[in-house]
Amino acid sequence: MKGLKRTLLALGVAGLPAAALADIQLLDDLTMGNITGQAGVTIELETKLNIDRFIYTDEGSLMIDNIQIGGANRTDLFAELGTNMTNMPASDLLDNIRINIDVLADGDAVINILPNTFGAVDFRISTGAWQLTGTQDSTLVLDNFQMDGLLGSGTIRVDTQTDMMGVRTDFAIDRMDFDVPFLALGIRDLSLTGAGYDLSAPQPLDLFARVNLDIYKAPNAAGVESLAIDLHEFSADVGIGGVLVGGVSVGTVFMDDLVISNTHMLVYGH
């Protein structure tokens, strides 16, 4: 391999004029090794995603129409804070995202997701109908889904020693609405914030709910390799501004200091 690299380099140098060759000094392998890999890669992202229809098929199918992922196109998320948490103008683009990618000395890969400029990243996720279909019948299970929220940060780390992918993130949902037609149920103005976020004295640092989980492979009860997910920490306050049954509000819901921890899940086919 080293001989091939030197041969290709020699062919490339041979094509240069003599005047240029006078200033070229070939580097040995040690010097090249000290130069290569000293910095990672940074990606600045601005995007919007649209999918007309997503279909998952087993024997029957689940179809999700009109999936859209982009910016919230708002500057008034969590209006009680009295500030634009994104520090950006309103846009329907998912933007203000910087992704740093590094491979560390021990081989671990680290992907760090941050705002490109100071402020959180706003997002909107919306869909049309979610429909279960079979050879004869179909059911509309979900419709009119829309979620507006903020992403504070996120880190993905692939650990070469444990063969685990760790995911750490913090986010908040300003408003989520959806309908469940087959139950005549509607949810309006669902919000999710950090546990302890106080609406009467809101603080930006308390806004975000934190998620800490690991993803890896592990055997199930039958010894078959499966997708394993360990949820170590999820804590949040959850409020629902309106619960509709048959189109009529039956009240509101609030869950204070919801904590999910020590949760293990295996996913596999059957």
What is the rounded CA–CA span in Å between residue 104 and residue 120?
27
Query: Cβ atoms within 10 A of the Cβ of 243, count?
Result: 16
113 neighbors 162 (Cβ within 8 angstroms)? no
By DSSP bridging, strand 225-245 and strand 248-249 are antiparallel
What tens-digit pLDDT sequence spans the chain (270 residues)?
Answer: 444 444 444 445 455 554 444 454 555 555 555 555 556 999 999 999 999 999 999 999 999 999 999 999 999 999 999 999 999 999 999 999 999 999 999 999 999 999 988 899 999 999 999 999 998 899 999 999 999 999 999 999 999 999 999 999 999 999 999 999 999 999 999 999 999 899 999 999 899 999 999 999 999 999 999 999 999 999 999 999 999 999 999 999 999 999 998 999 999 998
Amino acid identity of residue 12, one-letter, is: G
Residue 171 host element (H or E): strand 164-180
128, 125, 117: which is closest to 73 by C-alpha? Answer: 125
What is the rounded CA–CA span in Å between residue 80 and residue 199?
7
Long-range contact set of residues 133-139: C-beta below 8 Å, sequence gap at least 24? 133/60, 133/61, 133/62, 133/63, 134/59, 134/60, 134/61, 135/60, 139/182
What is the rounded CA–CA span in Å between residue 154 and residue 69?
18
Provide the token pair at 28. Answer: 């040995």
What is the rounded CA–CA span in Å between residue 1 and residue 204?
55
